[in-house]
A and B are shown apart, each in its own frame.
Chain A
Amino acid sequence: MRLTRRQMLALAGAIALPAPARAAGLRVATVDWAVLETLLALGVVPVAATELLQFHEVAVEPAVPASVTDLGLRGTVNFELLRLTRPDLIFSSSFYVSSEPRMRLIAPVESFAIYARGQPPFDAAVRMTRSIGQRLGLAEAAERYIAETEAEFAGLRERLKSHDGRAVIPINLGDPRHFRVFGADSMFGEVLSRLNLANAWTEATSYSAMAPVGLEALARVPEAWIVMIPPVPPDAERILARSAFWNALPNVRAGRVLRLGSINPYGALPAARRFARLLVEAFGHAGTKPLG
């Protein structure tokens, strides 16, 4: 494997500083899902993380080993339990700024901000992956994962060469009448631009998404591929199937509706890769059988 200049620097850094090298055996805990999936992707099993039942349903991958202690809801982390799992290091995120003093009582805290106002999340996720790798003495694994991500995107771009050039509108149905839409500043939006696809939603969004938007707004993007991100409300499919409006949409009539598997909209690189992979796979299927 050829090393880039940046990777060399990272490696040099890892060797020069003794602390991260020893850190490989650290007991790591995290309260943030984006960190959790990054850790697992780098082969690190944390001692504790939050809301694991929901993580399995929403983020789906990577799988969480049974040894990880569930710290309860992301909104109300069980600090007593976190204390009892005796971590050496806690990874946190900008959602938990107000809880950081509490976590510092337990172990040193390192915090990341992937989702902040006016900041593109993809590059921030790359930086976070790199920092975690360096902190845990896994700089090489981190660089390898980042390179793999780039390679996967390159491969997917290649597969999209035959794509019709239409824009994509990533939405999440809230109920049969409303959706939230993911704009250019969302992880989905960033993945689209890395796949050389246009986002059909050009209005501004804040903190990644805009909600609630009435379903009738879809009439403004008749050419776009409608990409539905789960969860889909239980009665939505049934109601849409017999909706005159829905069935009159040019996208729906032409079968330009894709249903993807569940993806965490506020994830890191693993979630970005999952979205890209599922999207390109769905495009592949859409060519063979009609949808809508």
Chain B
Amino acid sequence: MPERSLLASAPAMPRAALGWAGLALLAAVLALAVALTRPPLPGDPAVTQALEQILLWQSLVPRAVTALLAGAALGLSGALLQQVLRNPIADPSTLGIASGAQLALTIATAYAPVLIAFSREAVALTGGLAAVGIILGLSWRRGLDPITVVLSGMVISLIAAALSATVILAKGEYVLSLFIWGAGSLNQQSWDAVIALAPRLALGFAAALLLLRPLGLLGLDDRSARSLGLALHGARLLVIAVAVWLAATVTAEIGVIGFVGLAAPALARIAGARTPRQILLAAPVIGAIILSLTDSAVQLLGSGTADLAPTGAATALLGGPLLLWLLPRVRMVHRAQAGLPPSAPHRVRRPLTAAIWLAGLAVLLVIVALTLGRGPDGWEIATGAVFSDLLPFRGPRIVAAGMAGAMLGAAGTLMQRLTGNPLAGPEVLGVSAGGGVGLAVTLFLVPVLNPLYLVLGIALGSLAVLLVMLALAARSGFGPERLLLAGIAMGALCMALISTVLAQGDLRAYVLLVWMSGSTNRVGEIEAWTGVIAAAVLIAPLFLFWRWLDILPLGAGSSRSLGLGLTRSRLTLATFGALLTGFASFLIGPLSLIGLIAPHLARLTGFARGNHQLLAAVLIGGATMILADWLSRIAAFPYQVPVGLFAALIGGPYLIWLLSRGDTDG
């Protein structure tokens, strides 16, 4: 077995290596069990015997080998990215490589099938490179600061996911292949994937070994590396290109396999790997073992003809909790603490007057959205009879969008103050995705699509995730980096559960997909009133908690010394945050970035105190969503673009722009 010899070459970690050797053995046993427990083929023995041979050598064995190779490629890709970006949470999924490749393949499948027929890999690579190119371009000015890179990656991923959902909805009949692909499935009937992966893995590995010395230097900070005479950017870009290539090939061959690229290097470090050389050797082995174990498990637990769940979803299901459990044990050694986004350059002198201006802007947007639109004969300003005709359709969605934006603004402010982490938000902490899991569970348990149950399901899912995140943060005193990592892990875990449901491709999948795309189109009076009441009931009391909002970000010590009941205040605010997120994502889906962006914009405009930031974030969130809703209605008339997509398209680039110019301001 190749794994043994590689592990043996890293003598610095004998005990952990023994454990991993045991796991490798388990993986081999499970793979064998898969081969032995297949139900026999029906029919004439003379025919089935030949068929069994074909099945073994053209399906089972290539599948097992593909799992090993793909796992190794992802592990290597993650290790390279983490090393070169000096970023413990970099991997093909956090950098948007997988989403970029997925979006490119989705668009090509739907609109330019010739490209897919030409080369799946080339399409995926183009998408992956484009995503990484955008992310690196945006974070270049901040010296590829880890947090900026990962945040940009997440924004790109969210936009790509929203675009993909939109394309799938627009091209309904292609849904199936895109779902399978998105969930990452390892079924094989030939050696094609092995033939594609093996040489690329070998080349990538060779390149990684050649770049070992420069990689070691890249672990130092920029100034020291440059003084050693290394062509820093050239080496960096080369390593990144190799990593993207590996990840894009895996994505093109078998789809999105979440987590392996993130978990493998992390587990390697936990196992005791210290030097870049040790990590580069151990991560591919560990990645191969993880993916092999997972793939055997879904086959053994499946029905014999169909797997229990797509393997890519299962890796995230297994890897997510594993990573959450391991997080407190991750040592983030020899890494400079990442810089946080800029604070406000100045404070608004009269916050209330400024807030009134913001409210005025929101009202103006409402008027535009109510009257200006497109009809069969082009642009129209609705007045009189036409206005009252269209009001029952335009009114509720504008109200719902505005209220959802306001609630997300409030929820984001709460979460950022609560965790003391300026990057927290419903989307970043996986809270919105948790709502999706709640919705999926509700869809399975409740036969009738009752809106009330759906809201409850989303709210409970959101609350569960938020409580887990808070418990994690509280127990280990997570810094921003770890909380972000935990949030990304949680989000990936939840999205994996959701994609398992989506892979079923039935009515429930359709409901989930429409929800994910974040369309306000189905919103009626009931939903609009739900939004108004929820916003009023949940946002108004928050202003009573102004003291908590001001004190909590100072940290546990200061909060306690100021006489704050820490558990009670945190739990109260968390419940409010989860309910706000639940109601908002019921109305506009999970993908908008408003919950992250609105509080930022509020702070950057100069609303510094808790109360003022909250008020401004509520207004900014509401106004942005109303604008997004209007754009979604008119952009591709009569076809409608989901509003969540537009919100992400408005908010995402703005946030990245703010982050990228931050170093000049503060």
Contact = CB atoms under 8 A, between A and B. Distances in A.
Given A75-B510, A78-B640, A95-B507, A172 B189 contact: no
B587 to A, nearest CB: 13
A72 B166 CA distance: 13
Interface stretch (A14-22, A80-88, A137-145): A80-88
Interface string B348-373: 00000000000000000000000001
Contact of A84 (B41, B51, B376, B639): B376
B562 interface: no
A78 B506 contact: no
A13 to B, nearest CB: 31
Given A220-B41, A222-B51, A244-B54, A98 B451 contact: yes
Interface string B177-200: 101110001011110100000000
Interface stretch (A125-133, A209-217, A272-280): A209-217
Interface string A91-124: 0000101110110010000000001010000000
B185 A72 contact: no
Interface stretch (B145-153, B223-231, B521-529): B521-529
A75 B517 CA distance: 10
A234 B41 contact: no
Contacts of B185: 177-178, 212, 214
A211 B449 contact: no
B389 interface: yes
B173 A177 contact: no
Contacts, number: 187
B176 A180 contact: yes
B390 interface: yes
Contact of B117 (A72, A99, A219, A238): A238
B392 interface: yes
Contacts of B59: 214, 216, 245
B169 interface: yes
A62 interface: no
Interface string B238-249: 000000000000
B373 A80 contact: yes
Contacts of A61: none
B507 A81 contact: no
Interface stretch (B304-312, B463-471, B602-610): B304-312
Main secondary structure of the interface of B (DSSP, over half): helix
Given A54-B173, A74-B172, A211 B54 contact: no
A216 to B, nearest CB: 4
A239 B48 CA distance: 24
Nearest to A78: B638
A95 B190 CA distance: 39
Interface in A192-234: 203, 206-217, 219-220, 222-223, 231, 233-234
B202 interface: no
Interface stretch (B108-116, B210-218, B401-409, B481-489): B108-116
Interface in B316-362: none
B58 A245 contact: yes
A233 B310 CA distance: 20
Contact of A175 (B114, B173, B177, B506): B177
A153 interface: no
Interface string A49-62: 00100100110000
A203 B505 contact: no
- Most chain A CB inside 10 Å of its own CB: which residue of B303, B373, B522, B637: B522
Contact of B507 (A77, A207, A238): A207
Contact of A102 (B50, B389, B393, B506): B393
Given A83-B390, A220-B305, A248 B519 contact: no
A51 B170 CA distance: 9
A236 to B, nearest CB: 9
B425 to A, nearest CB: 26
B43 A223 contact: yes
Contacts of A117: 447
A238 B172 CA distance: 24
A234 B517 CA distance: 26
B305 A234 contact: no
Q: Which of B176, B503, B505, B514 has most A Cβ within 10 Å?
A: B176
Given A83-B393, A220-B41, A235-B116, A98 B522 contact: yes
B51 A175 contact: no
B306 A210 contact: yes
Contacts of A39: none
B358 to A, nearest CB: 29
A283 to B, nearest CB: 22
A203 to B, nearest CB: 7
Given A101-B525, A235-B116, A248 B180 contact: no
Interface residues of A, number: 65
Nearest to A172: B176
Contacts of A175: 177, 180-181
A231 B173 contact: yes
B252 to A, nearest CB: 11
Nearest to A246: B189
Interface string B103-135: 000000100011011001000000000000000
A117 B506 CA distance: 11
A80 B510 CA distance: 23
B189 A217 contact: no
A250 to B, nearest CB: 6
A104 to B, nearest CB: 10
Interface in B54-86: 54-55, 58-59
Interface string B371-395: 0010110000000000001101110
B113 A76 contact: no
A59 to B, nearest CB: 10
A102 B526 CA distance: 10
Contact of A70 (B43, B109, B507, B638): B638
B372 to A, nearest CB: 12
Interface in A141-184: 172-175, 177-178, 180
A49 to B, nearest CB: 12
A209 B177 contact: no
A101 B524 contact: yes
Contacts of B306: 210, 212-214, 217
Given A75-B514, A95-B510, A102-B393, A214 B307 contact: yes
A214 B187 contact: yes
B47 interface: yes
B54 A212 contact: no
A119 B642 CA distance: 32
Nearest to A97: B449
Contact of B390 (A77, A80, A98): A80
A216 B521 contact: no
B504 interface: yes
A11 B488 CA distance: 64
5 contacts: A78-B521, A212-B310, A214-B306, A216-B55, A217-B306
Given A75-B513, A79-B393, 4 more contacts: A54-B171, A177-B188, A177-B189, A213-B305
Interface of B: 41-43, 47-48, 50-51, 54-55, 58-59, 109, 113-114, 116-117, 120, 169-174, 176-177, 179-181, 185, 187-190, 192, 303, 305-307, 310, 373, 375-376, 389-390, 392-394, 447, 449, 451, 503-507, 510, 513-514, 517, 519, 521-522, 524-526, 633, 637-640, 642
